[in-house]
Amino acid sequence: VAGVTECVFCRIIGRELPAKVVSSSPAAVAFLDVAPLAPGHLLVVPREHARHLHELPAAGLSGLAAELPKLAAALLQVTGADGYNLLQNNGAAAGQVVEHVHFHMIPRRPGDGLGFRWPAKQYRAGESEEILERFKLALAG
User: Which positions are catalytic?
Assistant: 102
Contact assessment for residue 52 and residue 88, using Cβ atoms and an 8 Å cutoff: no
Is 115 among the residues that bind ligand AMP (CB under 6 A)? no
DSSP 6: S
DSSP 50: -
Is 96 among the residues that bind ligand AMP (CB under 6 A)? yes
Is 35 among the residues that bind ligand AMP (CB under 6 A)? yes
The nearest distance, CB 91 to ligand AMP, in angstroms, is 10
Is 95 among the residues that bind ligand AMP (CB under 6 A)? yes
DSSP 84: E
The rounded distance, in Å, linking the Cα atoms of 125 and 119 is: 19
Site size toward ligand AMP (CB under 6 A) is 12
Is 23 among the residues that bind ligand AMP (CB under 6 A)? no
Q: Residues interacting with ligand AMP, by CB under 6 A?
A: 8, 17, 19, 33-35, 43, 89, 95-98
